A and B are shown apart, each in its own frame.
Chain A
Amino acid sequence: MEFKVLIYILLTGVFVNNYVLQRFLGICPFLGVSKKFSQATGMGIAVIFVMLCSTAVTWPIQKYVLEPNKLGYLQTIVFILVIAALVQFVEIVLKKFIPALHKSLGVYLPLITTNCAVLGVAINNITDGYNFVASMFSSLGAGAGFLLAMVLFAGVRSRIENCPSPKSVQGLPITLIAASIVSLAFFGFSGVIDNLLGM
Protein backbone atom coordinates (compact mmCIF):
# COMPACT_ATOMS: atom_id res chain seq x y z
CA MET A 1 0.00 0.00 0.00
CA GLU A 2 1.16 3.47 -0.84
CA PHE A 3 2.80 5.42 1.97
CA LYS A 4 0.55 8.41 1.35
CA VAL A 5 -2.51 6.26 1.99
CA LEU A 6 -1.06 5.10 5.31
CA ILE A 7 -0.43 8.69 6.37
CA TYR A 8 -3.97 9.53 5.29
CA ILE A 9 -5.38 6.70 7.44
CA LEU A 10 -3.27 7.86 10.39
CA LEU A 11 -4.23 11.54 10.17
CA THR A 12 -7.92 10.83 9.56
CA GLY A 13 -7.94 8.67 12.67
CA VAL A 14 -6.42 11.42 14.76
CA PHE A 15 -8.37 14.42 13.53
CA VAL A 16 -11.38 13.66 11.33
CA ASN A 17 -12.76 10.38 12.65
CA ASN A 18 -11.56 10.94 16.18
CA TYR A 19 -12.75 7.92 18.15
CA VAL A 20 -13.85 9.83 21.19
CA LEU A 21 -15.18 13.06 19.80
CA GLN A 22 -16.70 11.95 16.50
CA ARG A 23 -17.45 8.23 16.93
CA PHE A 24 -18.31 8.19 20.64
CA LEU A 25 -16.13 5.26 21.62
CA GLY A 26 -14.21 5.21 24.87
CA ILE A 27 -16.33 7.88 26.52
CA CYS A 28 -15.95 6.33 29.99
CA PRO A 29 -12.20 6.97 30.39
CA PHE A 30 -12.56 10.23 28.45
CA LEU A 31 -14.90 11.62 31.10
CA GLY A 32 -13.53 9.67 34.05
CA VAL A 33 -9.79 10.23 33.83
CA SER A 34 -9.54 13.67 32.23
CA LYS A 35 -9.53 15.64 35.46
CA LYS A 36 -5.78 16.06 35.57
CA PHE A 37 -3.30 16.61 32.78
CA SER A 38 -0.85 13.95 33.99
CA GLN A 39 -3.56 11.28 34.30
CA ALA A 40 -4.94 12.15 30.87
CA THR A 41 -1.51 11.72 29.29
CA GLY A 42 -0.85 8.42 31.06
CA MET A 43 -4.23 7.03 30.08
CA GLY A 44 -3.78 8.17 26.48
CA ILE A 45 -0.39 6.52 26.12
CA ALA A 46 -1.68 3.30 27.70
CA VAL A 47 -4.57 3.27 25.22
CA ILE A 48 -2.23 3.70 22.24
CA PHE A 49 -0.11 0.84 23.58
CA VAL A 50 -3.06 -1.52 24.11
CA MET A 51 -4.64 -0.63 20.76
CA LEU A 52 -1.42 -1.44 18.90
CA CYS A 53 -0.95 -4.72 20.81
CA SER A 54 -4.55 -5.82 20.36
CA THR A 55 -4.56 -5.04 16.63
CA ALA A 56 -1.28 -6.89 16.20
CA VAL A 57 -2.96 -9.95 17.72
CA THR A 58 -6.59 -9.74 16.55
CA TRP A 59 -5.85 -9.03 12.87
CA PRO A 60 -3.82 -12.25 12.33
CA ILE A 61 -6.38 -14.24 14.36
CA GLN A 62 -9.19 -13.02 12.12
CA LYS A 63 -7.28 -13.60 8.87
CA TYR A 64 -5.47 -16.85 9.62
CA VAL A 65 -7.66 -18.61 12.19
CA LEU A 66 -11.26 -17.46 11.95
CA GLU A 67 -11.69 -16.83 8.23
CA PRO A 68 -10.07 -20.02 6.84
CA ASN A 69 -12.17 -22.09 9.25
CA LYS A 70 -15.36 -20.16 8.45
CA LEU A 71 -15.68 -19.02 12.05
CA GLY A 72 -16.18 -15.34 11.25
CA TYR A 73 -19.30 -15.21 13.41
CA LEU A 74 -17.18 -15.87 16.51
CA GLN A 75 -15.37 -12.55 15.97
CA THR A 76 -17.05 -10.70 18.84
CA ILE A 77 -16.45 -13.42 21.44
CA VAL A 78 -12.88 -14.15 20.37
CA PHE A 79 -11.82 -10.51 20.13
CA ILE A 80 -13.12 -9.50 23.53
CA LEU A 81 -11.51 -12.48 25.24
CA VAL A 82 -8.21 -12.03 23.41
CA ILE A 83 -8.08 -8.34 24.29
CA ALA A 84 -8.96 -8.95 27.94
CA ALA A 85 -6.34 -11.70 28.24
CA LEU A 86 -3.75 -9.67 26.36
CA VAL A 87 -4.07 -6.69 28.67
CA GLN A 88 -3.59 -8.89 31.71
CA PHE A 89 -0.60 -10.55 30.05
CA VAL A 90 0.98 -7.23 29.08
CA GLU A 91 0.57 -6.02 32.64
CA ILE A 92 2.31 -9.09 34.05
CA VAL A 93 5.15 -8.86 31.52
CA LEU A 94 5.68 -5.15 32.16
CA LYS A 95 5.68 -5.70 35.91
CA LYS A 96 8.34 -8.40 35.63
CA PHE A 97 10.64 -6.98 32.97
CA ILE A 98 10.15 -3.22 32.67
CA PRO A 99 9.08 -2.10 36.16
CA ALA A 100 9.66 1.58 35.35
CA LEU A 101 7.16 1.51 32.50
CA HIS A 102 4.78 -0.54 34.59
CA LYS A 103 4.88 2.10 37.28
CA SER A 104 3.79 4.84 34.90
CA LEU A 105 1.35 2.86 32.74
CA GLY A 106 0.34 -0.03 34.99
CA VAL A 107 -2.35 1.93 36.79
CA TYR A 108 -4.22 2.56 33.59
CA LEU A 109 -3.98 -0.89 32.05
CA PRO A 110 -6.74 -2.61 34.07
CA LEU A 111 -9.01 0.35 33.41
CA ILE A 112 -8.94 -0.25 29.68
CA THR A 113 -9.29 -4.03 29.66
CA THR A 114 -12.60 -3.80 27.91
CA ASN A 115 -12.61 -0.21 26.74
CA CYS A 116 -15.03 -0.01 23.85
CA ALA A 117 -12.59 2.02 21.73
CA VAL A 118 -10.06 -0.84 21.84
CA LEU A 119 -12.60 -3.43 20.71
CA GLY A 120 -14.09 -0.93 18.27
CA VAL A 121 -10.80 -0.27 16.53
CA ALA A 122 -10.07 -4.00 16.24
CA ILE A 123 -13.45 -4.66 14.63
CA ASN A 124 -13.34 -1.56 12.41
CA ASN A 125 -9.97 -2.61 10.99
CA ILE A 126 -11.53 -5.85 9.79
CA THR A 127 -14.75 -4.23 8.50
CA ASP A 128 -12.81 -1.57 6.60
CA GLY A 129 -10.79 -4.30 4.90
CA TYR A 130 -7.37 -2.92 5.88
CA ASN A 131 -4.26 -5.07 5.49
CA PHE A 132 -1.96 -5.60 8.47
CA VAL A 133 0.18 -2.47 8.03
CA ALA A 134 -2.82 -0.25 7.36
CA SER A 135 -4.53 -1.72 10.44
CA MET A 136 -1.54 -0.83 12.60
CA PHE A 137 -1.56 2.73 11.24
CA SER A 138 -5.28 3.04 11.82
CA SER A 139 -4.86 1.82 15.42
CA LEU A 140 -2.02 4.25 15.97
CA GLY A 141 -4.23 7.02 14.59
CA ALA A 142 -7.13 6.03 16.80
CA GLY A 143 -4.89 5.89 19.87
CA ALA A 144 -3.19 9.18 19.09
CA GLY A 145 -6.60 10.76 18.51
CA PHE A 146 -7.68 9.49 21.92
CA LEU A 147 -4.54 10.95 23.53
CA LEU A 148 -5.06 14.29 21.79
CA ALA A 149 -8.71 14.47 22.86
CA MET A 150 -7.82 13.54 26.46
CA VAL A 151 -5.02 16.10 26.72
CA LEU A 152 -7.05 18.91 25.16
CA PHE A 153 -10.04 18.10 27.31
CA ALA A 154 -7.99 17.92 30.51
CA GLY A 155 -7.00 21.53 29.83
CA VAL A 156 -10.58 22.57 29.28
CA ARG A 157 -11.73 20.78 32.42
CA SER A 158 -9.20 22.39 34.70
CA ARG A 159 -10.67 25.75 33.66
CA ILE A 160 -14.23 24.57 34.27
CA GLU A 161 -13.43 23.45 37.82
CA ASN A 162 -12.60 27.03 38.73
CA CYS A 163 -15.75 28.53 37.24
CA PRO A 164 -18.96 29.06 39.14
CA SER A 165 -21.79 27.25 37.37
CA PRO A 166 -25.50 26.70 38.21
CA LYS A 167 -26.03 23.89 40.69
CA SER A 168 -27.90 21.55 38.33
CA VAL A 169 -25.20 21.60 35.64
CA GLN A 170 -22.30 21.07 38.04
CA GLY A 171 -20.22 17.96 37.51
CA LEU A 172 -21.17 15.78 34.59
CA PRO A 173 -23.58 18.06 32.64
CA ILE A 174 -21.12 20.94 32.30
CA THR A 175 -18.38 18.45 31.38
CA LEU A 176 -20.54 17.05 28.58
CA ILE A 177 -21.40 20.51 27.30
CA ALA A 178 -17.69 21.36 27.23
CA ALA A 179 -17.02 18.09 25.39
CA SER A 180 -19.60 19.19 22.83
CA ILE A 181 -17.65 22.40 22.18
CA VAL A 182 -14.31 20.53 21.92
CA SER A 183 -15.96 18.10 19.49
CA LEU A 184 -17.24 21.06 17.46
CA ALA A 185 -13.70 22.34 17.19
CA PHE A 186 -12.63 19.06 15.57
CA PHE A 187 -15.08 19.71 12.72
CA GLY A 188 -12.60 22.26 11.48
CA PHE A 189 -10.14 19.50 10.60
CA SER A 190 -12.44 17.57 8.29
CA GLY A 191 -11.53 19.39 5.08
CA VAL A 192 -7.90 20.05 5.98
CA ILE A 193 -6.56 16.50 5.73
CA ASP A 194 -8.14 15.83 2.33
CA ASN A 195 -6.71 19.01 0.84
CA LEU A 196 -3.34 18.56 2.49
CA LEU A 197 -2.69 15.18 0.91
CA GLY A 198 -4.66 15.88 -2.25
CA MET A 199 -6.92 12.87 -1.80
Chain B
Amino acid sequence: MKNNKLSILLRGLIAENPVLVLVLGTCPTLAQSTSVIAALSMGIAATLVLVCSNMVISVLRKIIPDTVRIPCYIVVIAGFVTVVQLLMQAYLPDLYKMMGVYLALIVVNCIILGRAEMFARKNNVIDSALDGLGMGLGFLLALLAMATIREVFGNGSFAGIEISFLADYKIPILTQAPGGFLVFGILIAIVNKIGPKKGAEKRKNFSCEGCPSASLCGKVSCAENCELVAGGEPDAADTKKEEGNA
Protein backbone atom coordinates (compact mmCIF):
# COMPACT_ATOMS: atom_id res chain seq x y z
CA MET B 1 0.00 0.00 0.00
CA LYS B 2 2.83 2.34 0.94
CA ASN B 3 4.56 1.44 -2.27
CA ASN B 4 1.44 2.37 -4.17
CA LYS B 5 1.30 5.84 -2.59
CA LEU B 6 4.93 6.40 -3.45
CA SER B 7 4.33 5.43 -7.05
CA ILE B 8 1.47 7.97 -7.29
CA LEU B 9 3.86 10.66 -6.11
CA LEU B 10 6.76 9.68 -8.32
CA ARG B 11 4.75 9.08 -11.46
CA GLY B 12 4.29 12.79 -12.10
CA LEU B 13 7.99 13.49 -11.83
CA ILE B 14 9.36 11.42 -14.71
CA ALA B 15 7.18 8.72 -16.25
CA GLU B 16 4.14 10.96 -16.72
CA ASN B 17 5.79 14.35 -16.51
CA PRO B 18 2.94 16.76 -17.30
CA VAL B 19 5.02 19.07 -19.48
CA LEU B 20 7.46 16.85 -21.33
CA VAL B 21 5.42 13.65 -21.64
CA LEU B 22 1.75 14.66 -21.46
CA VAL B 23 2.46 18.06 -23.13
CA LEU B 24 0.11 20.05 -20.91
CA GLY B 25 0.58 23.58 -19.60
CA THR B 26 2.64 24.73 -22.55
CA CYS B 27 1.89 28.44 -22.20
CA PRO B 28 3.32 29.03 -18.72
CA THR B 29 6.21 26.70 -19.48
CA LEU B 30 7.26 28.82 -22.44
CA ALA B 31 6.52 32.18 -20.86
CA GLN B 32 7.95 31.69 -17.38
CA SER B 33 11.18 29.89 -18.22
CA THR B 34 13.29 32.90 -19.14
CA SER B 35 14.94 32.90 -15.72
CA VAL B 36 15.34 30.34 -12.97
CA ILE B 37 13.69 32.62 -10.39
CA ALA B 38 10.58 33.07 -12.55
CA ALA B 39 10.40 29.33 -13.21
CA LEU B 40 10.74 28.51 -9.54
CA SER B 41 8.00 30.90 -8.45
CA MET B 42 5.65 29.77 -11.24
CA GLY B 43 6.29 26.12 -10.38
CA ILE B 44 5.69 26.61 -6.67
CA ALA B 45 2.54 28.70 -7.21
CA ALA B 46 1.09 26.13 -9.62
CA THR B 47 1.99 23.23 -7.30
CA LEU B 48 0.25 24.95 -4.41
CA VAL B 49 -2.90 25.51 -6.44
CA LEU B 50 -2.76 21.98 -7.85
CA VAL B 51 -2.47 20.27 -4.45
CA CYS B 52 -5.22 22.37 -2.86
CA SER B 53 -7.65 22.12 -5.76
CA ASN B 54 -7.04 18.38 -6.14
CA MET B 55 -7.83 17.88 -2.44
CA VAL B 56 -10.99 20.01 -2.48
CA ILE B 57 -12.28 18.46 -5.70
CA SER B 58 -11.62 15.01 -4.31
CA VAL B 59 -13.57 15.85 -1.13
CA LEU B 60 -16.45 17.20 -3.20
CA ARG B 61 -16.34 14.47 -5.83
CA LYS B 62 -19.59 12.86 -4.68
CA ILE B 63 -21.44 16.17 -4.29
CA ILE B 64 -20.62 17.82 -7.63
CA PRO B 65 -23.13 16.75 -10.30
CA ASP B 66 -21.44 15.22 -13.32
CA THR B 67 -22.99 17.53 -15.89
CA VAL B 68 -21.75 20.80 -14.39
CA ARG B 69 -18.46 19.50 -13.05
CA ILE B 70 -16.18 21.57 -15.30
CA PRO B 71 -17.57 24.97 -14.16
CA CYS B 72 -17.39 23.75 -10.55
CA TYR B 73 -13.75 22.77 -10.96
CA ILE B 74 -12.98 26.12 -12.55
CA VAL B 75 -14.51 27.97 -9.58
CA VAL B 76 -12.49 25.92 -7.08
CA ILE B 77 -9.28 26.45 -9.05
CA ALA B 78 -9.94 30.16 -9.57
CA GLY B 79 -10.54 30.51 -5.83
CA PHE B 80 -7.16 29.04 -4.96
CA VAL B 81 -5.45 31.08 -7.67
CA THR B 82 -6.92 34.21 -6.09
CA VAL B 83 -5.61 33.13 -2.68
CA VAL B 84 -2.12 32.63 -4.10
CA GLN B 85 -2.36 35.97 -5.94
CA LEU B 86 -3.30 37.84 -2.76
CA LEU B 87 -0.58 36.10 -0.73
CA MET B 88 2.08 36.94 -3.30
CA GLN B 89 0.88 40.50 -3.64
CA ALA B 90 1.21 40.93 0.12
CA TYR B 91 4.47 39.15 0.84
CA LEU B 92 6.37 38.97 -2.48
CA PRO B 93 5.36 42.10 -4.42
CA ASP B 94 8.42 42.00 -6.71
CA LEU B 95 7.72 38.45 -7.84
CA TYR B 96 4.04 39.30 -8.21
CA LYS B 97 4.93 42.09 -10.60
CA MET B 98 7.36 39.91 -12.53
CA MET B 99 4.83 37.13 -13.09
CA GLY B 100 2.16 39.60 -14.17
CA VAL B 101 -0.78 38.13 -16.02
CA TYR B 102 0.65 34.59 -15.99
CA LEU B 103 -0.16 34.22 -12.30
CA ALA B 104 -3.86 34.75 -12.96
CA LEU B 105 -3.61 32.47 -15.96
CA ILE B 106 -2.85 29.49 -13.71
CA VAL B 107 -6.66 29.19 -13.77
CA VAL B 108 -6.60 28.01 -17.35
CA ASN B 109 -3.48 25.89 -16.94
CA CYS B 110 -4.44 22.57 -18.49
CA ILE B 111 -2.41 20.58 -15.96
CA ILE B 112 -4.62 21.60 -13.04
CA LEU B 113 -7.94 21.03 -14.75
CA GLY B 114 -6.55 17.91 -16.36
CA ARG B 115 -5.60 16.36 -13.03
CA ALA B 116 -8.99 17.26 -11.56
CA GLU B 117 -10.72 15.59 -14.49
CA MET B 118 -8.41 12.59 -14.79
CA PHE B 119 -7.48 11.85 -11.19
CA ALA B 120 -9.07 13.83 -8.36
CA ARG B 121 -12.65 13.05 -9.25
CA LYS B 122 -12.03 9.31 -9.07
CA ASN B 123 -9.70 9.01 -6.08
CA ASN B 124 -9.61 9.70 -2.36
CA VAL B 125 -8.18 12.83 -0.73
CA ILE B 126 -4.73 11.54 0.21
CA ASP B 127 -4.08 9.99 -3.19
CA SER B 128 -5.28 13.18 -4.91
CA ALA B 129 -3.01 15.34 -2.79
CA LEU B 130 -0.04 13.10 -3.57
CA ASP B 131 -0.91 13.11 -7.26
CA GLY B 132 -1.15 16.90 -7.20
CA LEU B 133 2.18 17.18 -5.44
CA GLY B 134 3.88 14.81 -7.87
CA MET B 135 2.45 16.50 -10.95
CA GLY B 136 3.24 19.94 -9.54
CA LEU B 137 6.83 18.95 -8.85
CA GLY B 138 7.07 17.44 -12.32
CA PHE B 139 5.90 20.75 -13.77
CA LEU B 140 8.44 22.55 -11.57
CA LEU B 141 11.21 20.19 -12.67
CA ALA B 142 10.46 20.68 -16.37
CA LEU B 143 10.24 24.45 -15.93
CA LEU B 144 13.55 24.48 -14.07
CA ALA B 145 15.23 22.39 -16.76
CA MET B 146 14.07 24.80 -19.45
CA ALA B 147 14.88 27.89 -17.41
CA THR B 148 18.36 26.62 -16.60
CA ILE B 149 19.16 26.08 -20.27
CA ARG B 150 17.70 29.43 -21.27
CA GLU B 151 19.27 31.48 -18.50
CA VAL B 152 22.72 29.88 -18.48
CA PHE B 153 23.21 30.02 -22.24
CA GLY B 154 21.08 33.03 -22.98
CA ASN B 155 22.04 35.36 -20.17
CA GLY B 156 25.27 33.84 -18.83
CA SER B 157 23.87 33.57 -15.31
CA PHE B 158 22.07 31.15 -12.99
CA ALA B 159 19.28 32.45 -10.72
CA GLY B 160 20.65 35.95 -11.15
CA ILE B 161 24.26 35.04 -10.32
CA GLU B 162 26.66 35.82 -13.15
CA ILE B 163 28.75 32.97 -14.52
CA SER B 164 31.96 34.78 -15.46
CA PHE B 165 33.38 32.47 -18.12
CA LEU B 166 30.14 32.56 -20.10
CA ALA B 167 29.92 36.36 -20.13
CA ASP B 168 31.39 36.65 -23.63
CA TYR B 169 29.40 33.78 -25.10
CA LYS B 170 25.78 34.72 -24.44
CA ILE B 171 23.06 33.72 -26.89
CA PRO B 172 20.47 36.42 -26.04
CA ILE B 173 17.84 35.01 -28.40
CA LEU B 174 17.35 32.07 -26.01
CA THR B 175 15.83 34.33 -23.37
CA GLN B 176 13.38 35.76 -25.90
CA ALA B 177 10.27 34.24 -27.45
CA PRO B 178 11.87 32.21 -30.29
CA GLY B 179 14.34 30.66 -27.84
CA GLY B 180 11.44 29.37 -25.76
CA PHE B 181 9.92 27.44 -28.65
CA LEU B 182 13.35 26.17 -29.71
CA VAL B 183 14.46 24.90 -26.29
CA PHE B 184 11.06 23.29 -25.65
CA GLY B 185 11.15 21.55 -29.03
CA ILE B 186 14.66 20.23 -28.43
CA LEU B 187 13.81 19.06 -24.90
CA ILE B 188 10.79 17.08 -26.14
CA ALA B 189 12.95 15.62 -28.90
CA ILE B 190 15.49 14.50 -26.29
CA VAL B 191 12.74 12.93 -24.15
CA ASN B 192 11.47 11.19 -27.30
CA LYS B 193 14.93 9.75 -27.89
CA ILE B 194 15.89 8.61 -24.40
CA GLY B 195 12.69 8.88 -22.34
CA PRO B 196 10.00 6.37 -21.44
CA LYS B 197 8.36 4.73 -24.42
CA LYS B 198 4.97 4.66 -22.73
CA GLY B 199 3.95 8.21 -23.55
CA ALA B 200 5.51 8.25 -27.00
CA GLU B 201 2.18 8.30 -28.79
CA LYS B 202 0.98 11.23 -26.70
CA ARG B 203 4.09 13.27 -27.42
CA LYS B 204 3.63 12.97 -31.15
CA ASN B 205 0.48 15.01 -31.25
CA PHE B 206 -0.69 17.86 -29.20
CA SER B 207 -3.34 16.30 -27.01
CA CYS B 208 -6.49 17.88 -25.65
CA GLU B 209 -6.48 15.56 -22.70
CA GLY B 210 -6.29 18.20 -20.04
CA CYS B 211 -8.22 20.81 -21.96
CA PRO B 212 -11.20 22.27 -20.11
CA SER B 213 -13.26 21.96 -23.24
CA ALA B 214 -12.37 18.32 -23.81
CA SER B 215 -15.63 17.08 -22.37
CA LEU B 216 -17.50 19.27 -24.82
CA CYS B 217 -15.66 18.13 -27.90
CA GLY B 218 -15.46 14.46 -27.11
CA LYS B 219 -11.81 14.20 -26.11
CA VAL B 220 -10.33 13.77 -29.54
CA SER B 221 -7.38 16.01 -30.24
CA CYS B 222 -8.33 19.43 -31.57
CA ALA B 223 -7.34 18.92 -35.18
CA GLU B 224 -9.05 15.57 -35.47
CA ASN B 225 -12.16 16.84 -33.78
CA CYS B 226 -12.43 19.75 -36.16
CA GLU B 227 -11.98 17.46 -39.11
CA LEU B 228 -14.68 15.15 -37.85
CA VAL B 229 -17.20 17.87 -37.16
CA ALA B 230 -16.41 19.80 -40.31
CA GLY B 231 -17.29 16.69 -42.28
CA GLY B 232 -13.80 15.80 -43.44
CA GLU B 233 -12.99 12.14 -43.74
CA PRO B 234 -10.61 11.20 -40.94
CA ASP B 235 -7.81 8.97 -42.15
CA ALA B 236 -7.20 5.49 -40.84
CA ALA B 237 -4.91 6.49 -37.99
CA ASP B 238 -7.40 9.01 -36.68
CA THR B 239 -10.25 6.52 -36.72
CA LYS B 240 -8.15 4.03 -34.82
CA LYS B 241 -7.26 6.59 -32.18
CA GLU B 242 -10.85 7.61 -31.84
CA GLU B 243 -11.88 4.04 -31.17
CA GLY B 244 -9.19 3.87 -28.53
CA ASN B 245 -10.62 6.94 -26.88
CA ALA B 246 -14.17 5.69 -27.00
- Identify B222's interface contact among A29, A80, A84, A127, CB under 8 A: A29
Give the segment of A5-13, A62-70, A176-184 that binds chain B. Answer: A176-184
Task: Judge whether B74 and A176 touch: CB under 8 Å.
Answer: no
Closest B residue, CB atoms, query A115: B108
Given the known inter-chain contacts A119-B108, A172-B203, please indicate yes or no for A111 contacting B222, CB distance below 8 A: yes
> CB-nearest residue of chain A relative to B79?
A77
Query: Is residue A33 within 8 Å, beta carbon to beta carbon, of the partner chain?
Result: yes
9-residue interface stretch from A20-28, A52-60, A135-143, A191-199: A20-28
Contacts of A173 in B (CB 8 A): 185-186, 188-189, 192
How far apart are the CA atoms of A75 and B23 in the complex, in Å? 28
Is B110's CB under 8 angstroms from A28's CB?
yes
Q: Which of A27, A35, A116, A169 interacts with B223 by CB under 8 Å?
A: A35
Contact B184 A74 (CB under 8 A): no
Which of the residues A22, A25, A169, A180 comes within 8 Å of B192, measured between beta carbons?
A: A169
What total of chain B residues lie within 8 Å of the partner, measured CB to CB? 57
Q: Which of B85, B108, B109, B203 has the most CB of A within 10 A?
A: B108
In the complex, A125 Cα to B149 Cα: how many Å? 32
Q: How many residues of A contact B (CB 8 A)?
A: 58
Stretch in contact with the other chain, from B50-58, B128-136, B173-181: B173-181
Complex Cα gap A93–B198 (Å): 43
B217 near A110 with CB under 8 A, answer yes
Contact A113 B212 (CB under 8 A): yes
> Is A133's CB within 8 Å of the partner chain B?
no
How many residue pairs between the two chains, A and B, have CB atoms under 8 Å in the bound complex? 164
* In contact, A177 and B74 (Cβ under 8 angstroms): no
Instruction: Choose the segment among B7-15, B98-106, B119-127, B162-170 that binds chain A (4+ C-beta atoms closer than 8 Å).
Output: B98-106
> B44 within 8 Å of A by Cβ?
no
Please report which residues of chain B, range 214-241, place their CB below 8 angstroms from some CB of chain A when the two chains form the complex: 216-217, 221-223, 225-227, 229-230
Asked whether A80 and B185 contact (CB < 8 A) given A114-B108, A127-B101, the answer is no
Distance, CA A124 to CA B75, complexed state (A): 21
Partner of A180, one of B104, B107, B109, B181: B181
A168 within 8 A of B: yes
Most buried by B among A21, A168, A184: A168
Check A152 for interface membership: any CB of B closer than 8 A. no
Q: Identify the A interface with B (CB < 8 A).
A: 21-29, 31-33, 35-36, 38-39, 42-43, 73-77, 80-81, 84, 107-108, 110-116, 119-120, 123-124, 127, 167-177, 179-181, 183-184, 186-187
A-B contact pairs, 15 of them (CB 8 A): A21-B177, A23-B31, A24-B30, A27-B30, A31-B26, A32-B223, A33-B226, A73-B86, A107-B225, A110-B213, A119-B107, A169-B185, A175-B206, A183-B181, A184-B178
Hey, which bits of chain B sit against chain A, CB under 8 A? 23, 26-28, 30-31, 71, 74-75, 78-79, 81-82, 85-86, 100-101, 104-105, 107-110, 173, 176-182, 184-186, 188-190, 192-193, 203-206, 208, 211-213, 216-217, 221-223, 225-227, 229-230
Given contacts A167-B192, A169-B185, A183-B181, 7 further A-B contacts (CB under 8 A): A24-B31, A25-B27, A110-B216, A116-B105, A170-B204, A176-B182, A187-B178
